[in-house]
Structure 1
């Protein structure tokens, strides 16, 4: 077994994670559905990598994500923190015999479930043993559910179709601060020092780690736009102390709203120092860090086929989750057996393999850029060699575009793409298309690891309506789009989409690192810096800040020769 333990820390990280686990749940369901396409039944994916098998006290078999999620108290909406599978009753206060005084009970009303969650309850009522069987649909139509979610999502649990283990969901207690004020590394550091449940978090993590046979790594989703970055750093530091040999692949995710209101000088200093400290700390405790999140998805190249509302976390998180799902497929690909057709899938790797490919021998070069094409173009017709790479959109901000880095290394995942004959593309067809694409682009990376699968990205019912009318039912790009209306297409219209995703380590990420180094020096460490007092209030001394600056400077220095070499080559 090559298990992965996943951690989700912060609001937007959990929005992304909710979609991520919905994709996994959809794959599990399609694999067992006799009416599903055969491509979903021959996935060659070992879902035990991400999931654990268990059993309730009533003897019911369970299959839940190997996950620890951390968020604000009250962030779970209508879901209770212990989940629904192991639903133990809370103890009755009147049963306590050591207290002889009076008792008063304060109980808040549980939030009402939306019709999507109600439909899941109705479905479970049909299939669980001992339950009265009724209409599994509950009378709800798919479009009713889609419309309900489109304008009604407030919590990441509003669209989650997954059952969670009682040790998975942790709500931070004792934080007397509004979510909008929890916006910097310093306030998160205060929360860590006063967190009453710090040992509880360690206990939950230890529960999932110690039952693993042979862990391949930690997969970390962190909302690094505010105080949760500090909480994540604290967890990562404990992971480094307790499980130092297990690699950590960290995705720092941000929603478009986190880039707002940085025009004023004071706010720019505040935000710049947070970004510098957050990146420095998170990168120092992870083996590979991948910043994910653009100031606007609706203005990116992805908007050619997607209709995204930047103000909706439900929309933005779905796109990023699709990319993270796809890039993680090789971690759970099985090795081809004698009964499997090796033409259908290839390129299984582990977390440590990807870390080694992208970071090489240098401990400093640990930042990668995520690019994705959603939906990916087919390999049909003339000009496909250009579309194959041109449709890729970086979802890492502050990176150089069109930089020619001959020392770049990449890991690429292609799945569900249609081949030249109109059938699912084979491994060799994808390899030929990629070689042709790089020949036409004129820029070949130093090394590219390719993973290929025929299984596309499944689109579960709670997925948002973000596809344009140029996208067909199986994610094909239509030459004659359906009549464009005021609304976009959702899961009832689009069942699956092909994907191309890429992690790239190159000098293109140099501006991202240099900007954070510049923030730290200009606002924090130089003589008369306007943010020096702020950093002291966050608990950072001069020695710590100098160490951060040295680390960021080393990361930049590692990439500068490559950037200068690329510049001279292009001249």
Structure 2
């Protein structure tokens, strides 16, 4: 077994994670459905890589994500931090025996479950959804329909748990208590510094991680998803540093994600400087503690080429996180593919990799590039090669911000995953058909990478019920791209689109250079040069001049690694 432990730090990271685990749960359900699509029953994908088996005190067997999630206290909404499988009702407060004075209790009203969570609960209780909740409750007069659930979620999701259909282990959900502030106030690097080490939080978190690691037979790596646009970034950096110390031989693949709010409401010069300094400090602090870092999160996803077939509300994290989660799901498929056996020619998967393998491939070639770009095609076009259809390579667009367009890089290295591709007559293409189509595209491409590894799976991306209605009316039931729009609503969701073909690509390329140069330039301009506007701000965040210069050196080395001839890579002060 080559297990992966997933870590999610911050609100938007958990939004992405909620969608990601919904995809996995849907795949498990479809694989167990005797009437489901046989492509979801493939033995080529081993879900034990991501999941752990366990048992409750009552002897009930469980199958839960090998996950550690960190977020604000209260961020779980109506869900208990104990999850829903273990020790329910164990949150009663203990009697205070060390205080002789008066004791007052302040309790907030519990969050109400939305229609989706109510339907999950009743389904698990085997309660028929007829004539309202529980067959006759007066709270809801009508039967809970899927259409009502979709409308409820589309109207407003407040917490990432509002659309989560997954059971979690009690060790998985960690709430950072005692901050006494809301997410809007927890918006810069300084405010989150030292939070990890205060009140034994770091020890508690590391102990929870140890719980999952120690039960692994042969861990292949950590998949770490971290907010890098607010106060959770320093928490993630401190946690990463402790992981690097304790598990030095285990590679960390870090997705540094940012939600839509980090790009909005910058009304003044001061706010812009704060944001630019945060971005530079955050990235330079996160990057040294992982084998590879992948920045994810566009300023305006709806305006990007990645959203050609999507209707996205940029300010809605429920929408944006769904797209990013789909990209992370597709990029991670090779980590749970089984190695080819004697029947490899008829297998439903090909191109298995582990975390260390993809890191060595992308970062261990001529450039030692530690920053990767994530591209997706959602949905991926058919493999038919018709002249009126755009190629798969032409449909891959970055989810990584500040990437140079159409930059020729003869030293680029790529790892591409294609799954659920559609072939002729709208049937799922075989592994060999996908390989042949991709190879043909590369042969006719004007620019080619130095090396490209291809992973293929016939299993498409399932669209679970709580997935947002973000597909345009040119996307068919199985993700096929139609020649003419479907009449009706301009946005289609899980009731209309059941699965889609996907393609994702991780690439090491000098196209990341603008991203790195912007952060290095801003750190020097606002934090290092004499009379810089951000000197006092950085000092208030706890950074002395020597430490800021060290951060600049870290960024300068990354720039120089990507492009030794870059003008900004030399010291400018």
- Unaligned 5+ segments in structure 2 are 128-132, 136-141, 568-573
Give me the whole-angstrom Cα distance separating, in 1, the residues matched to 2:365 and 2:412.
14
2:27 is matched with 27
1:427 is matched with 431
Asked if residue 353 in structure 1 is aligned to residue 375 in structure 2, the reply is: no
Relative to structure 1, the CA distance from residue 9 to residue 92 in structure 2 (aligned partners, 3 Å threshold; closer, same or farther) is: closer
Asked if residue 522 in structure 1 is aligned to residue 548 in structure 2, the reply is: no
Relative to structure 1, the CA distance from residue 82 to residue 332 in structure 2 (aligned partners, 3 Å threshold; closer, same or farther) is: same
Summarize the alignment of residues 201-350 of structure 1 with structure 2, pairs less than 5 Å apart: 201-262=205-266, 264-338=268-342, 342-350=346-354
Asked if residue 124 in structure 1 is aligned to residue 124 in structure 2, the reply is: yes
> Would the aligned equivalents of 2:559 and 2:566 in 1 still touch at CA under 8 Å?
no
> Would the aligned equivalents of 2:367 and 2:562 in 1 still touch at CA under 8 Å?
no
2:139 is matched with none
> Would the aligned equivalents of 1:249 and 1:287 in 2 still touch at CA under 8 Å?
yes
Query: Secondary structure in 1 aligned to 2:233?
Result: helix
> Would the aligned equivalents of 1:379 and 1:418 in 2 still touch at CA under 8 Å?
yes
TM-score by length of 2: 0.93
Relative to structure 1, the CA distance from residue 411 to residue 251 in structure 2 (aligned partners, 3 Å threshold; closer, same or farther) is: same
Relative to structure 1, the CA distance from residue 563 to residue 414 in structure 2 (aligned partners, 3 Å threshold; closer, same or farther) is: farther
Deviates more, 1:233-242 or 1:94-103: 94-103
2:450 is matched with 446
Give me the whole-angstrom Cα distance separating, in 1, the residues matched to 2:151 and 2:179.
34
Task: Give the superposition deviation at 1:94.
Answer: 7.1
After superposition, give the CA deviation of every residue in 1:184-229 in whole Å (9 maximum; x if it has no partner): 1111104234344221111111111111111000001111100100
Query: Secondary structure in 1 aligned to 2:391?
Result: helix
Give me the whole-angstrom Cα distance separating, in 2, the residues matched to 1:123 and 1:163.
14
Relative to structure 1, the CA distance from residue 34 to residue 478 in structure 2 (aligned partners, 3 Å threshold; closer, same or farther) is: same
1:511 aligned residue (510, 514, 532)? 514
> Would the aligned equivalents of 2:413 and 2:452 in 1 still touch at CA under 8 Å?
yes
2:554 is matched with 551
Query: Secondary structure in 1 aligned to 2:254?
Result: strand
RMSD: 2.3
Give me the whole-angstrom Cα distance separating, in 2, the residues matched to 1:95 and 1:295.
49
After superposition, give the CA deviation of every residue in 1:57-97 in whole Å (9 maximum; x if it has no partner): 00000011111111111110100111110034336557667
Summarize the alignment of residues 37-436 of structure 1 with structure 2, pairs less than 5 Å apart: 37-42=37-42, 44-90=44-90, 104-126=104-126, 139-262=143-266, 264-338=268-342, 342-360=346-364, 365-383=369-387, 386-420=390-424, 422-436=426-440
1:130 is matched with none
Relative to structure 1, the CA distance from residue 528 to residue 143 in structure 2 (aligned partners, 3 Å threshold; closer, same or farther) is: same
Task: Give the superposition deviation at 1:545.
Answer: 1.7
Task: Give the superposition deviation at 1:311.
Answer: 1.4
TM-score by length of 1: 0.93
Give me the whole-angstrom Cα distance separating, in 2, the residues matched to 1:281 and 1:364.
18
After superposition, give the CA deviation of every residue in 1:156-186 in whole Å (9 maximum; x if it has no partner): 0000000000011111111122311211111
- Unaligned 5+ segments in structure 1 are 128-132, 565-571
Relative to structure 1, the CA distance from residue 378 to residue 94 in structure 2 (aligned partners, 3 Å threshold; closer, same or farther) is: closer
> Would the aligned equivalents of 2:460 and 2:501 in 1 still touch at CA under 8 Å?
yes
Asked if residue 5 in structure 1 is aligned to residue 5 in structure 2, the reply is: yes
Query: Secondary structure in 1 aligned to 2:125?
Result: helix
Task: Give the superposition deviation at 1:339.
Answer: 5.7
After superposition, give the CA deviation of every residue in 1:11-59 in whole Å (9 maximum; x if it has no partner): 1000000000000000000000011011111151111111110000000
Aligned residues: 558
Relative to structure 1, the CA distance from residue 164 to residue 407 in structure 2 (aligned partners, 3 Å threshold; closer, same or farther) is: same
